[in-house]
Amino acid sequence: MNHALSLKIGPATFRIGSAWRQPVEALARLYADYPDAAGKVADFTVRLEPAGLFRRWLRPSIFITGDHGLADAAPMSLTHGLLAAEMGMNLQMALGWRRHLLLHAASVERDGQALVMTGESGSGKSTLAAQLGERGWRLMGDEFALLDLATGDVLPFPRLVSLKNRAIDVLAAEAPAPRMGPLLAATAKGDIRHLVPRSDAVRRMGQGARPALLLFPRFGHAAAVRGVGQGEVFMRLTQASTNYVALGEPGFAALTRFVRSVPARAIDFPSGEEAIAMVDRLWEELA
């Protein structure tokens, strides 16, 4: 394709091709400190193509596809090209990754142990993980946690953190400006800005950690902590996994081990500060 770039994030290598220069340039800038993947064989190909016959030039809009794609994916404006590239990579992972049990979850590490947080979009897990990543924890990823089928460890997938709406200002106040991406205003998910994880997160992206605590965060409610039974945890994690069914028995075994060995709590919180205090307390108590 006209413009191309290869990236390695955690265990996965991507080859991204684009009909336009801008998305590739934006990626190259934000992923500059990631290991060089040029000339490597990629696990996945991502393509950012014109969404129609004249859409390369005229009201340019992007159709996101690649090795794996969704026929009915909505086209995106070229001004949101960086987001399109990120979504293209996520799409490949969600539909094609088979080497680990993939959980739609954020994770952070401290002292060799991992805190895993899962929940719907808007639950606050991404923001919370990003904040913890600025305050002494190692960010392992805000979108996917990879559960190793053999060891049971959680492996990082530290792509750019995708900050939405109010979370943008929260993190812009904590992280230095050079690590913040451009503001992508009025996307389908609202305003978005990407945050480059701290250099330790990138440098140690091959290092896993033993999962020690699972949280189901929920932003926007009065502070509360609730125990979650293993049956419920199991069901919620099967729903949070895009490849649980595809992996078959090894996926079941890995998830069963995770559910049996990792304590789980649901936490409601009204603010980030309160969430961080709750996390510290629960980590002290349970991990």
Partner 1 sequence: MNALLLVRALRDPDGVAALDDGGDGAGWNALIAMARAERLIGTLALRIGDRLVPQAVAPILADARLDAEREARQALWEADRAAEAIAPLGLPVVLLKGTAYAAAGLVAGQGRFIGDLDILVPRPSMQAVEQCLLRAGWEWVKDDPYDDAYYRQWMHELPPMIHAGRDRMIDVHHTVLPVTARQRPDAAAMIGDAVPITNELYILSPEDRLCHAVAHLLADGDLAGGLRNLWDIHCLLEGLDPVALDERAARHGIRPHVRQARRLAAALYGDGARLTFWDRIVVARLLARDGWGRERRKLLRFAFYLRSHWLRMPPAMLARHLFTKWRKGHRPA
Contact set with partner 1 (CB under 8 A): 1, 6, 13, 15, 17, 39-43, 45, 47, 49, 66-68, 98-99, 246, 248
DSSP state of 40: P
> H or E element: which one contains 141?
strand 138-141
CB nearer to partner 1: pick between 59 and 98: 98
CB of 64 to partner 1, least distance (A): 14
Write down the least CB distance from residue 186 to partner 1, Å.
Answer: 28
DSSP-based three-state secondary structure for 41? coil
Q: Among residues 20 and 219, whose Cβ is nearest to partner 1?
A: 20
Cβ 67 to partner 1, closest distance in Å?
Answer: 5
Shortest separation between residue 50's beta carbon and partner 1, angstroms? 11
Q: How far is the CB of 14 from partner 1 (least distance, A)?
A: 11
C-alpha to C-alpha distances, 285 to 9, 120, 223, nearest whole angstrom: 32, 26, 17
Neighbours of 266 (CB within 10 A): 18
> Hey, is 187 helix, strand or coil?
strand
Q: How far is the CB of 179 from partner 1 (least distance, A)?
A: 29
State the Cα–Cα distance between residues 287 and 274, nearest whole angstrom. Answer: 19
Alpha helices, H only, the chain: 21-30, 81-96, 125-134, 166-172, 199-203, 230-240, 244-247, 249-261, 272-286
d(Cα 141, Cα 106) in Å, to the nearest integer? 5
- Smallest gap from Cβ 248 to partner 1, in A, equals 6
The angle formed by the CA atoms of residues 163, 223 and 259, to the nearest 5 degrees, is: 75
Whose Cβ is closer to partner 1: residue 47's or residue 159's? 47
CA-CA-CA-CA torsion sign (163, 165, 166, 170): positive
The DSSP code for 79 is G
Q: Which is nearer to partner 1, 9 or 139 (CB)?
A: 9
For residues 28 and 277, which CB has a smaller minimum distance to partner 1 in the complex?
A: 28
User: Left (φ > 0), alpha (ψ -120 to 50) or beta: where does 141 sit?
Assistant: left
